A and B are shown apart, each in its own frame.
Chain A
Amino acid sequence: MTNSSRLTDSETATHGDALACVGMLTKREWVRFFRQRNRVIGALGQPILFWLLFGTGMHSAFRGGDQDFMTYYLPGTLALILLFTAIFTTISIIEDRREGFLQNVLVAPVPRWTIAAGKILGGAAIAWAQAMLFLILACAVGSVALTWGLAGAVALMALAAVALTALGVFFAWPMDSTQGFHAIMNLVLMPLWLLSGAFFPIPAPQAEAGVGQIVMHWVMRCNPMSYVIGGLRRMLCEVPSSSSGEALPFWLPGLTVCWLVSAAFLVATLVAAWRSVSRPVQGDLR
């Protein structure tokens, strides 16, 4: 066997024990979150800041289309909150490893997936709650109508929160410095958010479009976040459905496709996170 070999376990822990362990690790993420006052202030402040900025401040400056600024940017802002909060909660993995907490978990007779599951559920719940806070503010000012689509959007936000936290776990697990994590995540997060239709619409692949536009279309079309935002946009805003025959001025995937791609993204990130935590890490050996 070599150092890089996979740490497979013949399990003696029962499913009940494993679930209790996931529950404890999830709860720990919440307890830690609420005991760090600056994190709570940041989490409450960010949605309020966005709401003030987009809802009032920039409202008058927005000129474009039939939609008002708030409505256009609502799905993108929700995605921004989910993306950054979900992924940055996983920094705690690097801190846990450095502070020694993680070592202690790694030598316990519980399967390694419980560690990933606890981190993902805890982090995702924090991100989802923060995005919900912004959604509630948007509802309060009447930017979002209380429809069944709203319930769907809430569910899609939860799905995206879990998927993004899992992505964070995948990246954070082998890292030994928070600076390195910031550097890598900025490299990944910014394109993931900017090229998702959150900030500007995804160009339609029209026949007369230039090469640049076609390339941009396909890059954005391959971004899983485009489907999360697309789904949120379809469920929260008034968008003509593709069956109505009315051609949209920009590309927007259908709602079913959005759900399917988002679900596939969730599965892919969960598998990636699980594989990542199954590998021994050099940092464990210090």
Chain B
Amino acid sequence: MSQQATALTAEQLRFSYGSQPALQGLDLEVAAGQTYALLGPNGSGKSTLFRLISTLAAMQQGSLQVFGHSVSTARSQVRSMLGVVFQSPSLDGKLTVRENIRCQAALYGLRGAQLSGRMDDVVAKLGLEERLDTPAEQLSGGLKRRVELAKGLLHRPRLLLMDEPSTGLDPAARLDMWHAVQQLRQSAELTVLFTTHLLEEADKADGIAILHQGRTVANGEPAELRGSLGGQVLSIQTEDIEDVLEWLRERTSQARRLERSIQVIGPEASELVAPLNGQFGNRIRSITLGQPSLEDVFVARTGHRFWKLSEENVEAETEPATQRPLRSAPPK
């Protein structure tokens, strides 16, 4: 792939906070023009990667290039190509929306007619015309995020980085934000790279890299990742985990235990439903057969439950139960 067509290349990236390793040889390639999700539970290294790309943290080991420019040697060029939307809002609450955007313009060397043109453009695209003279602290969470986007896009970056862009947004504001991002992508040649721990959000991206313990454990298109598991997913909830597991293991090598449930992934999964039901009947609480979700991909690649890792210190506003992809109803 030529350098022009690659927005981001990371090779053998390593980073540690003191003796605490955060990235342990991470590889990643993002094609230009894509919307790409970095999916992983907290502590998987996605925020560290974000800091390295945004030049906030100094490189330690490995190589990281943005449109062919090294983050360690051509920091200024990289910075001018990046638009960054942080997880914590970077707006100055005491300034109005217009003043905040002007601040951003000064940081990126935009002045005069060029600035007013760009300002009208982003403000119109993000529907902020009515809010220009409102102090940023009086805006709702969704509007704040839209102003952040306006700031991040003012200098027409080639790569837009967003760190957990949905954090703190209600579902409507979340949809609104993604709608704005999609609109912007259509009108400009923009690559979007965002971190998330929401499976459904990652599912909407063109490409996903699943991170775990500072490494990329899987990457590709969402459908491709799910397809890589080679069939359907059978989940069994039962009191007699040991018995069922033993029975399954005589018939397939794909059965594995996940705390209080059993999972079988593979082409044979659907064929096991009827025999299972016949053998165990009422001892089984539920049998679910469905297409693999990204969570299943995560489990298959890491051997860990995604939410188990994520819930350890997940933000209060996320509700894991509602984020899981729906599966087909259990058979009787």
Binding site for B on A (CB under 8 A): 1-3, 5, 7, 9-14, 16-17, 20-21, 23-25, 28, 31-32, 35-36, 99-101, 103-110, 280, 284-285
**Given A9-B75, A10-B74, are A108 and B54 neighbors across the interface (CB < 8 Å)?**
no
B75 touches A24 (CB 8 A): no
Contacts of A285 in B (CB 8 A): 17, 51, 56-57
- Given A284-B57, A285-B17, A101 contacting B90 (CB threshold 8 A): yes
Nearest residue (CB) in B for A115 is: B107
Q: Are A101 and B109 in contact (CB under 8 A)?
A: no
Give the shortest distance, in Å, between B203 (CB) and chain A (any CB): 28
Of the 9-residue stretches B24-32, B93-101, B278-286, B290-298, which lies at the interface with chain A? B93-101
B104: min CB distance to chain A, Å? 7
Give per-residue flags for B94-116: 1 if the beta carbon is below 8 A from chain A beta carbons, else 0. Answer: 11000100111011110100000
Q: A7-B58, A10-B76, A99-B90 are in contact. List 19 more A-B contacts (CB 8 A).
A: A3-B58, A10-B73, A12-B77, A16-B109, A28-B95, A31-B94, A32-B92, A36-B94, A99-B93, A100-B88, A100-B89, A100-B91, A103-B88, A104-B107, A106-B56, A108-B104, A109-B79, A280-B58, A285-B56
B82 part of interface (Cβ distance < 8 Å): yes
Q: Would you call A10 and B75 a contact (CB within 8 A)? A: yes
Q: Is B128 an interface residue (CB 8 A)?
A: no
Contact B108–A109 (Cβ < 8 Å): yes
Query: Which residue of the partner chain, among A10, A14, A104, contacts B104 with CB atoms under 8 Å?
Result: A104
Return A23 CB to nearest CB of chain B, in Å. 7
Q: Which 9 A-B pairs have the closest CB atoms?
A: A24-B106, A104-B90, A17-B109, A108-B107, A109-B79, A100-B88, A100-B90, A12-B76, A109-B80
Contact A14-B99, Cβ < 8 Å, known A9-B75, A28-B92, A107-B84: no
For the complex, what is the distance from the CA of A28 to the CA of B59, rounded to whole Å? 32
Q: Are B59 and A1 in contact (CB under 8 A)?
A: yes
Contacts of B197 in A (CB 8 A): none
Query: Contacts A11-B76, A35-B94, A100-B86: A107 and B56 contacting too (C-beta < 8 A)?
Result: yes
Bound Cα distance A7, B59 (Å): 10
Q: At the interface, yes or no: B277 with Cβ under 8 Å from chain A?
A: no
Least Cβ distance of B85 to chain A in Å?
A: 9
Residue among B77, B94, B102 with most chain A CB within 10 A:
B94
Residues in B with CB closer than 8 Å to A24 are 102-103, 106-107
Contact A1 B60 (CB under 8 A): yes
A28 to B79, Cβ gap below 8 A?
Answer: no
Proximity string of chain B (239-255) to chain A, C-beta cutoff 8 Å, 1 when within and 0 when not: 00000000000000000
CB distance A104 to B95 under 8 Å? no
The listed residue with most B CB atoms (<10 A of its CB), out of A12, A13, A107, is A107
Q: Which chain A residues border B51 with CB–CB below 8 Å?
A: 284-285
Judge whether B213 is part of the interface by a CB distance below 8 angstroms. Answer: no
Q: Say yes or no: A108-B111 contact (C-beta < 8 A), given A1-B60, A1-B72, A36-B94.
A: no
Distance, CA A21 to CA B108, complexed state (A) = 8
A108–B79 touching, CB < 8 Å: yes
A101 contacts B92, C-beta separation under 8 Å = yes
B109 touches A13 (CB 8 A): yes
Does B55 count as interface, using CB distance less than 8 angstroms?
yes
Report A-chain residues with C-beta under 8 Å of the C-beta of B146: none
Contacts of B58 in A (CB 8 A): 1-3, 5, 7, 280
- CB-CB < 8 A to B84: which residues of A? 104, 107
> What A residues does B75 contact at CB under 8 A?
7, 9-10
CB distance from A251 to the nearest CB of B (A): 46
**A109, B76: Cβ atoms closer than 8 Å:** yes
Give the residues in chain A near B92, CB-CB below 8 Å: 28, 32, 99, 101
Q: Contacts A17-B109, A20-B109 given; indicate if A107 touches B57 (C-beta within 8 A).
A: no
Q: Pick the contact of A101 from B56, B73, B91 — CB < 8 Å? A: B91
On chain B, the residues within 8 Å of A23 by CB distance are 106
Which chain A positions have C-beta within 8 A of B57?
3, 280, 284-285
